[in-house]
Amino acid sequence: MRTTDRAAERAHLLDLLLAEREGLLSVLDRVLALRGTARLIREAAGADTGFLGERTEDGTVIRWTAGTRTDALQDLRVETGRGIGGRALATGKPVRVSDYVSAETITHDYDERVRRERLGAMIAVPILDRGCTLAVAYAGLHGPGTFGDAAVDALRGAAEQAVPALRLADAAAAQADGAVAAERRRMQASLHDSVGAMLFSIGAQVRDLRSENPLLASRLTRIEADVSEASRALREALLALSDSSPERALPVELAEHCRSFAARTGVSCRFVQLGPVAPLDAERTAILVAVAREGLLNAEKHAGAGTVIVSLAPDESGGVVLAVADDGDGSGPGAGTGLGVRMLAQRAARLGGTVGLIQDEEGGTTLRLSLPGAP
């Protein structure tokens, strides 16, 4: 395939991906995604009920149901190894029983809840993504019965179809958290610039008055102490506002660089996270941000760039890939592999990663970093 054809195909696929992601995120929030998954589970298994247990640190919690008669299962926490869902979570394999309360192959920690819903036959299937369990899909009959191999296969298929919905739900949640984190940073900057500057000014004026009016020294000393205490409280508030987890802070920082680039240059620039990325150490986070900044600098130097996209995605080996792609004609002074890119490549190599600058014949440049996960 010619380079121009590959470039066109890449641009087309990226446009489709962006359109799909943005369209879905605009109409499908976490509740709709997971509630729809519960209905999908019920229909696939031909069952009376379908429900979904979201993964937690010590098991799952059932929050999304379809076809249930009561709220007995709502918010039920199922520990790993306990009941039918806990066993499916522990083994990573489907588990089925013909009558839950009399089954000898599971524990009976949740019999009271199951009796209230009047469930008999049940099946639980772990929903896996890249070897990790995202959730447990349950299907049940109101009364005894049998789930055959066909039902197991159907529920497995439904579980596979549910993975994109679960990923989307996580992406929507991450996007919401990112928006909150960005607002916290804006508030932090605003407080620092306004209240911090005001307290500094008051303190300076008090010190000047104390030197000029010895008779007021004691009262001014108390005021100065109050200002000092207010400044300390402000610093604590600013620290609290800046407290965010590394995996949330990285997407927020990359998105802010994109917004700053767009405001500075007038060129459309978007940040896209194409999947959940595992928490990274400070060194890996720093080089990801550095590559994004270098890619945006190159795009700014290029002639005629109308769109820039910064993307962050996990890879199959547990690492991360970052790309900065622009549609410029590559004729600017930043078009070549400059010193900045070479230095980043050396930093990446020390971590087992690679940095490459790819130029398309018909225009457009992509700076790409591939970085393995921490050992």
DSSP-assigned letters across all residues of 234-258: HHHHHHHHH---HHHHHHHHHHHHH
Least confident of 109-113, 285-289, 305-309, 345-349: 305-309
pLDDT band at 22 (very low <50, low <70, confident <90, very high): very low
CA angle, residues 334, 351, 255, in degrees to nearest 5: 55
What's the average model confidence in pLDDT over 104-119? Answer: 94
User: At residue 247, does pLDDT exceed 80?
Assistant: no
State which amino acid sits at residue 237.
Answer: A
What's the average model confidence in pLDDT over 313-319? Answer: 80
User: At residue 357, does pLDDT exceed 60?
Assistant: yes
What's the average model confidence in pLDDT over 160-181? Answer: 56
Strongest mean pLDDT among 94-98, 212-216, 292-296, 318-322: 94-98
pLDDT band at 94 (very low <50, low <70, confident <90, very high): very high
pLDDT band at 117 (very low <50, low <70, confident <90, very high): very high
User: At residue 138, does pLDDT exceed 90?
Assistant: yes
CA angle, residues 3, 5, 11, in degrees to nearest 5: 100
DSSP-derived 3-state class of residue 131 = coil
- The answer to whether 28 touches 116, Cβ cutoff 8 Å, is no
User: At residue 141, does pLDDT exceed 50?
Assistant: yes
What's the average model confidence in pLDDT over 131-142? Answer: 87
Q: What is the pTM of this model?
A: 0.42
What's the average model confidence in pLDDT over 191-209? Answer: 66
Query: Between these two residues, 13 and 82, which has the higher pLDDT value?
Result: 82
Query: Between these two residues, 85 and 196, which has the higher pLDDT value?
Result: 85
Edge-to-edge strands, sheet with 59-66 = 76-79, 59-66, 49-55, 132-140, 122-129, 95-97
Q: What pLDDT score was predicted for residue 343? A: 85
User: At residue 333, does pLDDT exceed 50?
Assistant: no
Q: What pLDDT score was predicted for residue 83? A: 95
